Chain A
């Protein structure tokens, strides 16, 4: 048995890269089958932003304030548009549920006998999904951002843009590893849909998808001098929507920017290790019967 496994094991880094490239190509082709449905879905995702824009315009119209928690009306509109972009990197629809399903229906067992690492395969599939998404979504995104260009502040300096791009890349990895870890819970609970739903709930509220986290700066926690925004800052959620948007808008700068990027990178490492541990422990308690 071990001899046959040796025969199919990747020979070296080049072979590993080729396997990864093949997985990516297969996933790209799969994703492009329903490209029309995909494009329509992308355009529709902007519709909730429209209602948010009108809601905040009405809120600003009714108050004499020039800004709310440091955000002007234009900032708020730009913020919501930027969170759409950030979420395009960090959101992983169907990932956790798919992993749990593969555990439940037994299809995960092929990754136990094939020389393909499951997490790497999932990463390749997700990169493919995102590449197709960006290719299809680039036009609607460019159109909406162009139409709404007056809401945005001037383009930030190169350092801020670099930090923004880095935060987007990290948000992709963070979102991926968080969802994979969640999906791996399927080894223990079989059905994780309720856990995923609970996660989505917390994620939606604390990621800044719903509103800028800065709005929570005045919300007390019961601890003197610590607002709810301060607590959220140390959790991983705000790095999947709020953080990158706030960086582009210049709300996070200097030392705070560096420390926030470090926290985000730290969470990526923590969740990457957590998903590996979950896979390692989960496969040791996993059992499958039949063909």
Chain B
């Protein structure tokens, strides 16, 4: 484990050196990333000029909702920084046969394929997320108990783990299918469901959708559970959702690992 951590640090250092070599490009990437995020925040601010909360009686008024958004920013920035850049390269590696070089390395293939590239510019959104969280929490009437603050980092990790599992499953699909640009788009569209509080998914269509996105593909647990723990009153029922998030994270990691290994065993080299 220590060996893998050292190798990961070496990868990260190399990526940081590369980013700092093209410093202007790095700053530009940070700015564009922040631009998209600011635009979304502007949209939410606009929405709150027409309503006091998202969903009647849900408790997602302006400040709690921005704490929710901040939580999403932090989780997504970690995934975008540490896992997505590597996963995005996989499609081309499978198509061109570049995956062969990875498979002959004396290291775990999943580790190498999912963590060899780090995009530090993606962490800019996470930094803003932390600032936004601090702003939202300081303006809220409600003060979360100490246990909520203790659980919050753990639940952030659970959210990252669930998304990581999803990335690995899509990577496995890439290996099996050879080319699946649409499946990475699918990742983007699927994570879109996690951007809003689960309460908005109600009614004859929303109810089943909420069930699917909670129990089948637990995308709604990613941001909702940690955000709810600090931005909504912490009650006995909160423990149920905490347990669900932890279980979902473990299951996502285990299942994705099994699926990925099976996909690798069926891989046929495209190179000569």
Residues on A facing B (Cβ under 8 Å): 34, 37, 40-41, 44-45, 47-48, 50-51, 54-55, 57-59, 61-63, 65, 68-69, 194, 197-198, 201, 204-205, 210-211, 215-216, 218-219
Contact = CB atoms under 8 A, between A and B. Distances in A.
Given A62-B54, A197-B32, A204 B39 contact: yes
Contact of A48 (B46, B192, B201): B192
- Which 8 pairs across A and B sit closest by C-beta, in order of nearness? A58-B55, A47-B189, A58-B200, A40-B182, A62-B56, A54-B200, A41-B182, A63-B51
28 contacts: A34-B179, A37-B182, A40-B182, A40-B186, A41-B182, A44-B185, A50-B209, A51-B193, A54-B200, A54-B201, A55-B196, A55-B200, A57-B206, A58-B54, A58-B55, A58-B56, A58-B200, A58-B202, A61-B56, A62-B51, A62-B52, A62-B53, A62-B54, A62-B56, A63-B51, A68-B50, A194-B25, A211-B43
Interface in B30-81: 32, 35-36, 39, 42-43, 46-47, 49-56, 58
Given A37-B179, A55-B200, A194-B28, A205 B53 contact: no
Contacts of B52: 62-63
B43 to A, nearest CB: 6
Nearest to B32: A197
**Number of chain B interface residues as a range:** 35 or more
A25 B264 CA distance: 39
Q: Mostly helix, strand, loop or mixed at chain B's interface? A: helix
B203 interface: yes
Contacts of B50: 59, 63, 65, 68-69, 215
B209 to A, nearest CB: 8
Nearest to A37: B182
Contacts of A65: 50
Contacts of A204: 39
A241 to B, nearest CB: 14
A215 B49 CA distance: 10
Interface in B190-205: 190, 192-193, 195-196, 199-203
A62 B57 CA distance: 8
Contacts of A40: 182, 186
Contacts, number: 90
A65 B49 CA distance: 12
Given A197-B32, A204-B39, A205-B39, A218 B49 contact: yes
B138 interface: no
Of A40, A59, A63, the most chain B CB neighbours within 10 A belong to A59
B181 interface: yes
B180 interface: yes
B85 to A, nearest CB: 16
B82 to A, nearest CB: 22
Given A48-B189, A194-B28, A55 B54 contact: yes
A234 B55 CA distance: 35
A94 B196 CA distance: 29
Given A44-B186, A54-B206, A201-B39, 6 more contacts: A50-B193, A58-B202, A59-B47, A63-B52, A201-B36, A211-B43
A238 to B, nearest CB: 16
Contacts of B43: 210-211
B182 A205 contact: no
Given A37-B182, A55-B54, A59-B50, A44 B196 contact: no
Given A201-B36, A211-B46, A41 B185 contact: yes
Interface in B1-40: 25, 28, 32, 35-36, 39
